[in-house]
Structure 1
Amino acid sequence: MRKLQVQGVHHITLVGADRQTSIDFWEGVLGMPFVFEQPNLDAPDESHLYFDPGDGRLITVFTDESRTPDRSPNPTAIGNLHHIAFAVSRATYTQAARRLEERGIAHSGEKDRGFMDSIYFRDPLGQLIELACYKFEPPDGTTHAEVLHEAHRLRVMAGDANIADIHLADALESLSEQTTDSLSPDRTPKDPYSRD
């Protein structure tokens, strides 16, 4: 028996209402360029809209002009999608609440998640959307997931409940030492201010 190794999210497809609601939300609110459209190849009466969330991957939406938006929260029972999170810059994150409020969109307010900051709101079809901003940048040659894996290891060793800034800072230091060579034979912390 062998695994089927995945290499990232290819795309996420949602069932939308009418075409314009999808364009107005995904491009008009979240700034995702509307990159192409074709019929839903499994249901030719529907359209299939493709949006770029900023990393060249795709968010796609099946639309049908006979469907109207329903803002009721989507079900969150076992097997249902709870929310979709999109990465935003720190600058965008600091503006998110204000820009949602300008549109009259209710939101959660800013949430500190230990390793990231988040804000939540619902799309016009009731799907919960999260805008997330990491509190760190990974060292060159490493990924956010690698930093979080190391921060988790450090958190567990410390007996702490969740990842916090101290775990991230120590993980960044550890990974930097592992991925970047130095001519120094001893890379332990030093105090250059204590010399006479």
Structure 2
Amino acid sequence: MAFPPLTHVAVTVSDLDRSTRWYTALFGTEPVLDEDEGSGDFHHTVYAIGGGQLFGLHTHTGGSPDGAFDARLAGLDHVAFTCADRAELEGWVTRLDELGITHGGIKDAHYGSGVSFRDPDGIALEFFAPPTPS
């Protein structure tokens, strides 16, 4: 039996309105879902980002003690979005620049190339392309 692909990723954010504006600009689309989960303790906003995949923003009443994301703690390190090749990756670098999103430029490695950036809460994100065949 093959392992199934991811259907969605959800991240918890400190300011849902700010993050919704930021991710709407990044994804170039409006959320497909924006609702409370009934009790008022949880709200989520969800984007359809292609290929049947969803990306969700969650907020919880009370929040975390300091609200800061830290990749060194157990849990999420980063979320990477697939690019078909380096040309597509370069296109995303241009798009990040247009949006005023700070990034680390394209970094090349034997296993592929990526550009890293962070959302308003400091959650680590990346665009990643496989290595170019030689």
Interval of TM-score (by shorter of Structure 1 and Structure 2): 0.7 to 0.9
**Pairwise CA distance, 1:51:** 0.9
Secondary structure of the residue aligned to 2:89 is helix
Distance change in 2, residues 1:76/1:93 (3 Å): same
**In structure 2, the residue corresponding to 1:52 is in which secondary structure?**
strand
Q: Secondary structure at the match of 1:75?
A: coil
Aligned to 2:20: 23
3-state secondary structure, aligned to 2:40: strand
In the aligned structure 1, how far is the partner of 2:103 from the partner of 2:67?
14
List runs of 5+ in structure 2 lacking aligned partners.
Answer: none
Structure 2 residue aligned with 1:39: 36
Quick one: higher RCO (CA 8 Å, sep 6+), 1 or 2?
A: 2
> What is the SS of the residue equivalent to 1:22?
helix
Residue in structure 2 matched with residue 85 of structure 1 by the alignment: 80
Residue equivalent to 1:134: 130
- Specify the structure having the higher radius of gyration (Cα): 1
Q: Which runs of no fewer than 5 residues in structure 1 stay unpaired?
A: 137-164, 167-196
Q: Which residue of 2 aligns with 1:176?
A: none
What amino acid is aligned across from residue 75 of structure 1 in structure 2? D
Distance 1:95 1:11 in 2: 24
CA distance in structure 1 between the partners assigned to 2:90 and 2:49 by the alignment: 19
Does the Cα contact within 8 Å between 1:83 and 1:130 map onto a contact in 2? yes
| TM-score of the superposed pair, with normalisation by structure 2 | 0.75
Give a deviation string over 1:8-63, Cα, whole Å, max 9, x none.
2132221123333232222211335411122135x524321111121212111113
Q: Which residue of 2 aligns with 1:142?
A: none
Instruction: Sort the Cα spacing of 1:87 and 1:132 in 2 relative to 1 into closer, same or farther, 3 A.
Output: same
How far off is 1:89 after superposition? 4.2
2:79 is matched by which residue type in structure 1?
I
- SS of the residue corresponding to residue 50 of structure 1 reads strand
Q: Is the 8 A contact 1:71 1:124 kept in 2?
A: no
1:1-196 to 2 correspondences below 5 Å: 6-40=3-37, 43-63=39-59, 74-90=69-85, 91-135=87-131, 165-166=133-134
Q: Give the corresponding residue for 1:169.
A: none
The runs of at least 4 aligned residues of structure 1 exceeding 4 Å deviation read 64-67
Give CA deviations for 1:73-118 in whole Å, capped at 9, x if unaligned.
x212252211100113444411233332333322111111323221
CA contact (8 A) 2:79 2:126 kept: yes
**How far, CA to CA, are the matches of 2:79 and 2:107 in structure 1?**
16
User: Which residue type is aligned with residue 19 of structure 1?
Assistant: L
CA pair 62-85 structure 1, distance change in 2 beyond 3 A: same
